[in-house]
């Protein structure tokens, strides 16, 4: 048992104003302020199929005490949402490159996409994202899992209890492979009820995140991660219960 394990309050699924469904207020400095107010130690930035604002949030987090993991919420060809998180921006960008290469190159038409804002760490407008990011990719779940894992990230199926975009509604169950480290449930169900309602969840750790699209939602759902450091490797070890690390539902 290690003596260096701390309890980190984590909300690992937060959108920015880059996501067409994300509110305009979801700007890097305001996201960090809201995370601090909510007492969070660790957040994940996951816009649909894109990490173009993740670096700005990481920069806004510097010196705040909040650690922001860069990532994206990939959409598989089956239509399943998959939360992909990394330690470093270059890893997230490598995954974004794969995602962009496997999307219909449908250019931004804001009538259909909603406005997709790329901003800097202070929330200043830089550009519009040119792609329609809220579309499925042509990669299947195994392909996305393989790519994320090879880059050194963690892939957690998003809000598994949700209709249409949750893995259970699409596949009717949690598949045996790939061997997911953990699963995410939405704000609409408790971990206990999720295990009862969906037996294929088995004993996998369940993360509950806010999936925030507006500021007041940040931290409204959270998971306590008992681990040494706020890294993807430590999160994976917490999922496996290594040396006293663990995932606790708040």
The residue at minimum Cβ distance from Zn ion is: 81
Interface segment toward Zn ion; rule CB under 5 A; list 132-140, 158-166, 217-225, 236-244: 158-166
Q: What is the CA radius of gyration of the chain?
A: 17
Helices and strands (H, E) in the chain, number of each type: 8, 11
Interaction of residue 113 with Zn ion, rule CB under 5 A = no
Q: Strands across the sheet with 246-249, in order?
A: 154-157, 81-85, 67-75, 42-48, 6-14, 223-227, 246-249
Q: Beta partners for 249?
A: 223
Interaction of residue 53 with Zn ion, rule CB under 5 A = no
Of 9, 67, 81, 245, the residue at the interface with Zn ion (CB under 5 A) is 81
Interaction of residue 121 with Zn ion, rule CB under 5 A = no
Whole-angstrom distance, CA of residue 40 vs CA of residue 164: 30
For Zn ion, the closer CB: 81 or 230? 81
Q: Minimal distance in Å, beta carbon 104 to Zn ion? A: 19
Of 47, 161, 211, 228, the residue at the interface with Zn ion (CB under 5 A) is 211
CA quadruple 51, 53, 56, 57: dihedral positive or negative?
A: negative
For Zn ion, the closer CB: 211 or 234? 211
Interaction of residue 158 with Zn ion, rule CB under 5 A = yes
Q: Minimal distance in Å, beta carbon 83 to Zn ion? A: 7
Q: Which residues bind Zn ion (CB under 5 A)?
A: 73, 81, 158, 211
């Amino acid at each position: 048992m290690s003596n260096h394990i701390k309890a980190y309050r984590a909300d690992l699924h937060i959108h920015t104003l880059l996501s067409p469904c994300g509110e305009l207020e979801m700007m890097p400095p305001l996201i960090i302020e809201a995370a601090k107010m909510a007492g969070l130690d660790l957040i994940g930035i996951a816009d649909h199929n894109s990490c173009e604002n993740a670096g700005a949030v990481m920069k806004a987090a510097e010196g705040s005490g909040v650690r922001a993991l860069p990532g994206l919420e990939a959409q598989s060809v089956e239509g399943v949402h998959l939360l992909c998180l990394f330690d470093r921006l270059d890893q997230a960008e490598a995954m974004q490159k794969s995602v962009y290469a496997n999307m219909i190159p449908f250019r931004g038409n804001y009538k259909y996409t909603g406005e997709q804002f790329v901003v800097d760490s202070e929330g200043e407008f830089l550009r519009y994202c040119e792609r329609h990011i809220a579309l499925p990719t042509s990669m299947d779940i195994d392909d996305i899992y393989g790519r994320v894992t090879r880059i050194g990230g963690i892939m957690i199926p998003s809000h598994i209890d949700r209709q249409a975009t949750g893995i259970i509604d699409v596949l009717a169950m949690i598949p045996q492979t790939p061997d997911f480290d953990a699963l995410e449930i939405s704000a609409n169900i408790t971990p206990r009820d999720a295990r009862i309602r969906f037996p294929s969840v088995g004993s996998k750790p369940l993360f509950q995140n806010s999936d925030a699209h507006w500021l007041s939602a940040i931290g409204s759902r959270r998971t306590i991660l008992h681990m040494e450091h706020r890294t993807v490797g430590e999160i994976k070890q917490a999922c496996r219960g290594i040396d006293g690390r663990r995932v606790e539902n708040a």
